[in-house]
Amino acid sequence: MIYTRGTAGPPPDPRPVLVIGCGYLGSRVAAAWRAAGRRVFALTRGRTAALAALGAEPVTGDVTDAATLSRLPEASTVLYAVGTDRRSGHSMRDVYVGGLSNVLGVIRPPDRFIYVSSTGVYGQTNGLVVDESSATEPADEAGRVVLEAEQVLRHRMPHATVLRFAGIYGPDRLLRRQALLDGLPIAGDQEKWLNLVHVGDGVRAVLAAGYRGEPGGTYIVADGEPVRRRDFYALLAELLGAPPPRFVPPADPTAREPDRRVSNRKARTELGFSPVFPSYREGLPAAVAGREDARP
């Protein structure tokens, strides 16, 4: 798998890195750093064999349990990419705010701390373009928790780099795949915008931030071409051989559905981020085929 295309950087760096949150994105970043010759530590609650197979050195611990974090190794770069695991029994706030606070309470400040956040911190529902300077007034609880975690990070580690990710998709992560295959309707307004990034490009953005991220900088990570829901799901259904998508009103007609178009201009300009998959038109066929690079 090729992760480094479009992210040219300095020669191999022997200094160790630490990945906290080795899920869909984090495990791929760990593999990319390992392929680049970095020594990679990876915090895990139990996936030691899988991480060792990637070439990482597993460190057992749980961000929601501060007592398990005393052995976190020193690293020049730390990636924090922890997401919510519904099976854990912890609330989103426990994980995002409490977990981050626990880590920041024990870790020695690295040269670079890269934090994976979300464009969910934006609450715009008018379809306008937003960037890093736009108001962060999330309309839902998830967005408010993500924003609170960002604020904790900024207070405790001001030099950290924050990456606000659009929706990540890729092999084995295709939005509404099973619903489309089953012919089930999708709840929501088909005219509203989706903001996305292929996981391979998400990895490239993290690597670029590790090379060039401005201390204290915030960057939106997205492919650069928002897509209306109807167009995204129409192509996905076609690629899957599923019936054309059907849309129905959301269950709660009073809910404010997000509707915004995020700009990746700052990441392009300052990080040199250049998506290999510049839109869903290139990314979806690759994802359905199980590819994480641009080769056919």
The string of pLDDT tens digits covering residues 48-70 is: 999 999 999 999 999 999 999 99
Length of the chain: 296
Give the side-chain half-sphere CA count within 13 A for 155.
Answer: 10
Burial of 173 (C-beta count, 10 Å sphere; 0-12/13-18/19+) = middle
3-state secondary structure of 281: helix
Residue pair 228/260 in contact by the 8 Å Cβ criterion: no
| Residue 101: Cβ within 10 Å count | 15
pLDDT of 10 reads 53
Confidence of residue 276 (pLDDT cuts 50, 70, 90): very high
| Confidence check: pLDDT of 1 > 70 | no
- pLDDT > 70 in the chain, percent: 94
pLDDT of 84 reads 76
pLDDT of 5 reads 44
Confidence of residue 13 (pLDDT cuts 50, 70, 90): confident
> Which two three-digit tokens encode residue 254?
């009073």
Integer Cα distance of 30 and 15 in angstroms: 14
The candidate with the shortest Cα–Cα distance to 13, out of 40, 53, 52, is 40
Confidence of residue 11 (pLDDT cuts 50, 70, 90): low
Tell me which of 174-183, 223-232, 247-256, 277-286 is least confident.
247-256
| Confidence check: pLDDT of 164 > 80 | yes
Query: Average model confidence (pLDDT) for the chain?
Result: 92
